Amino acid sequence: MAPASCSIRYLQTSRSSNHLRNTTAMLLNILLNGSRGRMGLAISEIAEAHNAVIASACDAGDDASANVANCDAVIDFSFHEITLGIAELAVANNIPLVIGTTGHTAEEKAAILNAVAGKIPVVWAGNYSVGVNTLNYLTRKAADILGEQYEPEVLEMHHHHKKDAPSGTAERLIEILKDSYALNDEQVVHGREGLVGARPRKEIGVHAIRGGDIVGEHTVYFCGAGERIELTHRATDRKIFAQGSVRAAHWAVGKAPGVYNMEDVLGLVD
């Protein structure tokens, strides 16, 4: 990123060198990367109500390193090509990182994980909604209860501006189903067309809809003989994702180095 000054709000709090605060009761200074995007604007709007301040707001062309020393945590909602550099910046300054950016390639994910391994706490989730992460939990429970007699399918819907498919939220649901049904990547089918034959028992179908201003909708189907179970989450306001990401940043402060998800933040991990 080309050198430039990020916009700054100074509302300093006392902070120890090891960042021991781990509660939303304490004011948190955030470096927000991707501040002019939809999620960045939503986070800026709700931060103060959630005991946080955007101490450094950065976007494309800004130098995120210019004011990171004033921050307690980094939240990244930018582009998949940018996250590695932001992760390295967080590591260099020994502060937690919350990754909300989606669409990373396998190589990018590996490079990011390598950069942060054993160094800082990272919360990395495809969706920061409390409701969606409850959906993740319920999907795992339903798969365990229903077993292989029920065939899983995933449907996700988003606005026409969304660039990646499936969504990060859908990818998390797919991972949960793969683990629950002991399936691999080759058994995940993205859409169907033509004479595909009868549906194999060991398969996960994934479908993406794009259109209009849909904030986000995800449904997991468990299709059995004579009945069907549907677990659905519908988002109507991006503030739910913003609130969750700030909650994750508060939670990450003082945690041991490692890569966590929102199920960890919410205590939904068995």
Length of the chain: 270
Residue of 50, 80, 109, 162 with catalytic role: 162
Phi, psi (degrees; rounded to nearest 5) at 27: -70, 135
Phi-psi region of 263 (alpha: psi -120 to 50; beta: other; left: phi over 0): alpha
What number of other Cβ atoms are within 10 A of residue 121's Cβ?
25
CA 248-27-23 angle, to 5 degrees, is: 50
Q: Which of 158, 218, 233, 250 is catalytic?
A: 158
Q: Is 158 a catalytic residue?
A: yes
Q: Determine the straight-line distance between the first and last CA of the chain, rounded to whole angstroms.
A: 41
Structural tokens at position 241: 């994702």
- Phi and psi at 150, nearest 5°, equal -115, 125
Task: Tell me which residue of 46, 42, 35, 45 sits closest to 8, measured CA to CA.
Answer: 35
Residues paired with residue 122 on neighbouring β-strands, in sequence order: 97, 259
Residue numbers annotated as active site: 158, 162
